Amino acid sequence: MVAKTFFGFEEILAKELRNLGAERVSVGNRMVSFYGDTGFMYKANLCLRTALKILKPITSKKIRNEKDLYDFIQGIRWKDYLDADDTFAIYATVNSTIFNHSRFVSLKAKDAIVDKFRKELGRRPNVDTEYPDLTINIHIQQDLCTVSLDSSGGSLHHRGYRTATNIAPINEVLAAGLVMLSGWDGQCDFLDPMCGSGTIAIEAAMIACNIPANLNRKEFAFEKWLDWDMDLFEKIEEASLNKTRDFHHSIIGMDKAPSAVRKALKNVENANLIDFVKIKEGNFFESTKETEEKLHMVFNPPYGERLQLDVEEFYSQIGDTLKQSYPGTNAWFITSNLEGLKYVGLRPSRKIKVFNGKLESRLVKYEMYEGSKKAKFQSKKES
């Protein structure tokens, strides 16, 4: 199988897969390939936090032209996967000198499938791009054509808990990946000081409690497959829920906009995490750290792309607030405004290249020590 992901998340996705029990895990570009049985495919869709889709390749072959493509697709035993009364959709990705357009590949493949059904049964399945019974993925890399079944359907970032969003909401898979890249392990307090619709705080809570990422999702594509095994899925869901764990610290999402606070509260409620995530109204730049304990902070400040802001002033305020009000804090945030980072006035201890949509961004870490850094190292030396 193949799990698709965002750039920069390949290694954490591979680690997730190994932890779940996948075999022969191999990292690629924006994807990780692995082996597992049907039950593992169900588990991967249910539990993986950084996967966007799980594809199940069924066959591949070298092709030289459109006739080869048509014959290859028509030669597949489609009745193993599709009834004549079912609907299907085809999505193609092409990186080849043989074909220029993915849409042409999709149409040619569609013709091959419906012609085969017409010939054998006298009737054919229809195309439905909205709610198909089977979603087929065709990938052509130069002359190699791979046909896969999409076991997820809609992207796995559609977790099912987010009904209310703001102007620039962060993708749920991106949020989970950032929290995981930050090394969050649920062993201290957590704060998102610019929480928007609450996604980062919700994903942090699900990680801390080991709650399956897609527990609230409405459905997966494999539920419409001919070999769908509901009993097996329910067993896997139950086994995954039995692995949840207690969490003994606080997770807080804060935002200065009352509308954002309302939306975040609604989403926390939808995710059944009201016992674990607290949402409150407040301006980060006027806030202070509430405890003397260690604090882990992850946030997604506005970049100035969709929300207008004075970049120099805004990023200076981030640095000043962290310096003056948040000792004993590991602060991480993502930004595509690389110019803005210069105004933070602090040296990041980590910089990780990631993408937010098409925006090349950096996930940066600032370590705010108790007292001065010099004093910290001095005391380490003496001890």
| pLDDT number for residue 382 | 46
User: Is 359:325 a contact under the CB 8 Å cutoff?
Assistant: no
Q: In terms of DSSP bridges, do strands 2-4 and 31-35 run parallel, antiparallel, or are they unpaired? A: antiparallel
DSSP 302-362: --SSSS---HHHHHHHHHHHHHHH-TTEEEEEEES-TTGGGGS-S--SEEEEEEETTEEEE
Q: Going residue by residue through the chain (383 aa), what tens digit of pLDDT does each one get?
A: 999 999 999 999 999 999 999 999 999 999 999 999 999 999 999 999 999 999 999 999 999 999 999 999 999 999 999 999 999 999 999 999 889 899 999 999 999 999 999 999 999 999 999 899 999 999 999 999 999 999 999 999 999 998 866 666 789 999 999 999 999 999 999 999 999 999 999 999 999 999 999 999 999 999 999 999 999 999 999 999 999 999 999 999 999 999 999 999 999 999 999 999 999 999 999 999 998 999 999 999 986 545 567 889 999 999 999 999 999 999 999 999 999 999 999 999 999 999 998 899 999 999 999 865 444 444 444 44
Say if residue 69 is in the same domain as residue 138: yes
Say if residue 322 is in the same domain as residue 202: yes
Q: Which residues pair with 53 in a beta bridge?
A: 4
| pLDDT number for residue 191 | 98
CATH of the domain at 255: 3.40.50.150
Task: Let me know if residue 50 belongs to a domain.
Answer: yes
Say if residue 65 is in the same domain as residue 199: no
Cα angle 199, 236, 1; round to 5: 80
Q: In terms of DSSP bridges, do strands 189-192 and 295-299 run parallel, antiparallel, or are they unpaired? A: parallel
Residue 136 phi/psi, 5-degree rounding, is: -110, 135
Say if residue 73 is in the same domain as residue 185: no
CATH of the domain at 51: 3.30.2130.30
3-state secondary structure of 301: coil
| pLDDT number for residue 264 | 95
Say if residue 313 is in the same domain as residue 265: yes
Say if residue 57 is in the same domain as residue 16: yes
Say if residue 288 is in the same domain as residue 360: yes
In terms of DSSP H, where are the helices of the chain?
Answer: 10-20, 38-47, 66-74, 102-121, 172-181, 199-208, 230-241, 258-270, 311-325, 373-382
Say if residue 104 is in the same domain as residue 59: yes
Task: Let me know if residue 218 belongs to a domain.
Answer: no
Amino acid at position 296, single letter? H
Say if residue 183 is in the same domain as residue 145: no
Say if residue 105 is in the same domain as residue 199: no
Say if residue 186 is in the same domain as residue 117: no
DSSP label of 102: H
User: Is 31:3 a contact under the CB 8 Å cutoff?
Assistant: yes
| pLDDT number for residue 165 | 67
H or E stretch covering 255: strand 251-255
Number of domains present in the structure of the chain? 2
Task: Let me know if residue 159 belongs to a domain.
Answer: no
What is the Cα–Cα distance from 140 to 362, expressed in whole angstroms?
Answer: 31
Domain with 299 in it: 172-210+246-379
| pLDDT number for residue 78 | 95
Task: Let me know if residue 271 belongs to a domain.
Answer: yes
| pLDDT number for residue 168 | 63
**Helix 102-121 / helix 66-74 crossing angle, nearest 10 deg:** 40
| pLDDT number for residue 169 | 76
Task: Let me know if residue 314 belongs to a domain.
Answer: yes
Say if residue 123 is in the same domain as residue 256: no
Both tokens assigned to 193:
């000081």
Query: pTM here?
Result: 0.91
